[in-house]
Amino acid sequence: MSGPPSGGRDEPDGPVDPDVDLRVPAHRAETAGGLRFRRTLAVLAAVAAGGALGATARYALISAWPAPPGGLPWATLAVNTAGSALLGVLMVLVAEYGRGHPLARPFLGTGVLGGFTTCSAYALDTVTLLERGAAGTASAYLGGTLAAALGAVWAGAAAARAVLGGRAVAG
């Protein structure tokens, strides 16, 4: 075991999912039960399956709604904004309300939404716009996507909290 003593509890050497804080009971549930190797394989399989679904959905949307040369890549902006809103909802459900299966966060968060949203296409789209001489559009896209994604994750989390009311479980 590595890290500080666990106060007599058996804890894994480190988190299976880097977003998991083993001091939070709801997060510990993601690594509970069975052998560590099997837990790791289950998490990897969940992330891979979710990533395949999310990336396929993103590809379909971006292919159906291509950006015109020098124009704003609306599909990538929409994907990143929608994915951020859904991530806000998911994090409230999983982290604050303890909802769902222990593999829900790796499958839906890291997998589906990680595959669906795209920082690399966002960066490439920005560089492509700059290379085509559309600096104004590139700047608007760069700042607009960041603002939209941050606003969307906040709005998704706020909406989830409003719908669920004050029923959060203690962490």
Token pair of 32, please? 């509970």
Of 19, 15, 21, 22, nearest to 40 by C-alpha is: 15
Write down the pLDDT at residue 88.
97
Whole-prediction pTM value?
A: 0.75
Write down the pLDDT at residue 100.
74
Helices (H), 25-169: 25-28, 36-64, 74-91, 104, 114-116, 119-131, 135-164
Taking residues 23-51, report their average pLDDT: 78
Helix (H, G, I), strand (E, B) or coil at 23: coil
Any binding-site annotation on 31?
A: no
Write down the pLDDT at residue 65.
95
- pLDDT tens profile 2-21: 444 444 444 444 434 556 67
- pLDDT tens profile 111-144: 999 999 999 999 999 999 999 999 999 999 999 9
* pLDDT band, residue 98 (cuts 50/70/90): confident
Which residue did the predictor score with more confidence, 64 or 4? Answer: 64
Q: What is the mean pLDDT of the chain?
A: 84
Any binding-site annotation on 114?
A: yes
Write down the pLDDT at residue 119.
93
What are the extents of the domains in the chain? 32-161
Token pair of 68, please? 């015109």
Q: By mean pLDDT, which of 2-6, 56-60, 73-77 is the weakest?
A: 2-6
